[in-house]
Amino acid sequence: MSGIFDKTTEGLASSLNFRLLRHNITSANVANAETPGYKAKKVDFEEALARALDLDGTSSLNTLDKNHFVVGQGGLSKIQADVYDNPDVNVSNDGNTVDLEKEMASLAENTILYKAALQLINKKLGKLKYAVTEGNR
């Protein structure tokens, strides 16, 4: 994003992108709930997003190696979500690891959090629009 947006707006935008990825992965899990041998996938990004936003106050840290965790400024553009086979599942007789109830609950939770982040971005953009138009004068 450009320089007119603050770290919070950039973080919310990154969160939206990762929530979309989580939605796609979870939807694929639901779609393959009856596919023999399908291994359910899981997406984690919250910890990396928190580090990039520097929520724990480690902004004085810098990374020197590309393999180090990203911290502080500029981290939002470099973070990536971890997509892996879900280890917290039971294997059915046909080798499928999708727990349909958990996947549907995850999908509902993700949808709520996506909508919340979208509303926050809309409010921030509304304030910016209000400031630019000088309160609609």
How confident is the model over 45-73, as pLDDT tens digits? 887 777 777 655 555 555 666 666 555 44
Buried b or exposed e, range 68-106, using 16+ CB within 10 angstroms? eebbeeebbeebebeeeebeebeeeeeebbbbeeebeeb
- Residue 54 covered by a domain: no
The residue type of 19 is: R
Q: Which two tokens stand for residue 41?
A: 């996938």
- pLDDT at residue number 46: 81
CB 103 within 8 A of CB 30: yes
- Which of the pair, 65 or 23, is modelled with greater confidence? 23
Q: Give the residue numbers spanning the domain of 12.
A: 7-45+81-131
For the CA atoms of 21, 24, 29, 35, the dihedral, rounded to the nearest 10 degrees, stands at -130
Query: Which residues are 85's β-sheet partners?
Result: 41
Q: How many folded domains does the chain comprise?
A: 1
Max Cα distance, the chain (Å): 68
Please give the mean pLDDT across all residues of the chain: 82
pLDDT at residue 8 greater than cutoff 70: yes
- Residue 117 covered by a domain: yes
- pLDDT at residue number 63: 61
- Residue 73 covered by a domain: no
pLDDT at residue 113 greater than cutoff 80: yes
- Which of the pair, 133 or 79, is modelled with greater confidence? 133
- Residue 100 covered by a domain: yes
- pLDDT at residue number 1: 46
- Residue 63 covered by a domain: no
pTM of the model: 0.75
- Residue 52 covered by a domain: no
